[in-house]
Amino acid sequence: MSSVAGGVSTGLSQLGVSAERASDARRAGQGWSLDGNDLALLRRLTTELRRLLELAKSNEATIAVSEIVEAVERIRDGDDLEPAVLTLSVGIEDGNETFSEGWFARLAVSPEAIVLDKLNTTFTVEMGHDRHTTSFAVLTPDGAFDDTGVLAWLAELNKLRRWSTAVIRGERVAL
């Protein structure tokens, strides 16, 4: 799928999330230690993600949103996740052969973390590709989702929802 979505998978590895850790956690039966605040934020996140279904312009986009909602709900409900990184990217890209810009709100879910970030991209013939990622919040099995970061990411997502050209992309990478 898209390299825009794939960047979050790379971000997970930079946070120290690995296939081995995810596998060890599953074998050990470790669950997520979520407090009331984490659960409330996950409920808010799933509500906002469901609202993306109205933006879905293809079956693939509908499936991507549905899969990510299901994964977040599984974490919220204490259920196991499949050994994969699911990534959802919502964004806009505009330009031509010599210059383009992009703005994407991304969410990745794996057995080891939920990562919320934003990707800004620029392409010029003279300079090539430039990518800048801003991390908003990370939830690990230890809990402590950052309220401010989640709300700021949701604000980014809602700004993108207003664009008629916004696209939804999903990616699944097995661990």
Q: For 96-107, how does the pLDDT look when each residue is reduced to its tens digit (9 = 90+)?
A: 999 999 999 999
pLDDT at 30: 52
pLDDT at 24: 43
Number of domains in the chain: 1
For residues 65-90, one letter each, b for 16 or more C-beta atoms within 10 angstroms of the residue's C-beta and e for the rest, the string is bbbbbebbebbbeeeebeebbbbbbb
Give Cα separations from 114 to 75, 108, 121, 129, 175 (angstroms).
Answer: 9, 6, 22, 27, 15
Residue 68: pLDDT above 60? yes
Q: For 11-30, how does the pLDDT look when each residue is reduced to its tens digit (9 = 90+)?
A: 454 444 444 444 443 333 35
Domain containing residue 156: 3-174
